[in-house]
Amino acid sequence: MITYLPKASYNIMPWKNGKGLTSQIALGPEGSTFPDNFSWRISSAQVNSNGPFSNFSECDRLLTVTQGAGLSLNDSHLLPLQVISFAGETEIQAELIEGPVVDLGVIFKRDSVRSEMKVLDLSEVAELPLEDGVHFIYCLRGRLNLQGLVIHAEDTVRIEKESVIKLDGLNHSSYVLISVFPI
């Protein structure tokens, strides 16, 4: 099952620490609410100033910078399209490297699910085998064609109960593949 999630459908909400806004792309399991009873959440945020990350105890996090020069997280640089993982309870102080950035992240309860994030380029047709779980393709640049469905930059598709998908890049495309697996 493939579900198209255009950027216009993302749910905009305040950060847990109240210091910014995030665009919630997807939340699981179905019927859950954030931050009360979720197992995982995928979101994108514009970061305009230096400051602390919200604390999410009992969670792990994956993060990449999709626009801008990057972030310094506790004095370690996170450059564009690198993926970092860290415990949600770790105190993180973020500093902008050269102005505002947009990030894409996953927050997941480590005792309920595990998650992976990969940043990939696509210039030709690729067949992607998918394990059991729920998968998301977030288009970073260009356009993607997923079995006849065109995905534009900053839009996402949710994929479930598919063992293999055929993905084609239009206009030198890149994307983020996020997978969430039950434990």
- pLDDT value at position 126? 86
If you average pLDDT over residues 39-56, what whole number do you get? 94
Residue 80 has pLDDT above 90, yes or no: yes
If you average pLDDT over residues 30-42, what whole number do you get? 92
Residue 117 near residue 62, CB atoms below 8 Å: yes
Phi and psi at residue 16, to the nearest 5°? -55, -35
pTM beyond 0.85: the answer is yes
Number of other residues whose CB lies within 10 A of the CB of residue 47: 23
Q: Which domains does the chain have, with CATH numbers?
A: 8-112 (2.60.120.10), 115-182 (2.60.120.10)
Render pLDDT for 7-20 as a digit per residue (tens, 0 to 9).
Answer: 999 999 988 777 77
Listing DSSP states for 138-151 in one string gives EEEEEEEEETTEEE
Render pLDDT for 147-182 as a digit per residue (tens, 0 to 9).
Answer: 889 999 999 999 999 999 999 987 789 999 999 999
Q: What is the CB-side half-sphere exposure of residue 40 using CA atoms within 13 A? A: 27
User: How open is the CA angle 104-97-77, to the nearest 5 degrees?
Assistant: 70
DSSP state of 80: B
Average pLDDT, the chain: 93
At residue 36 the predicted structure's pLDDT band, cuts being 50, 70 and 90, is confident
- pLDDT value at position 14? 86
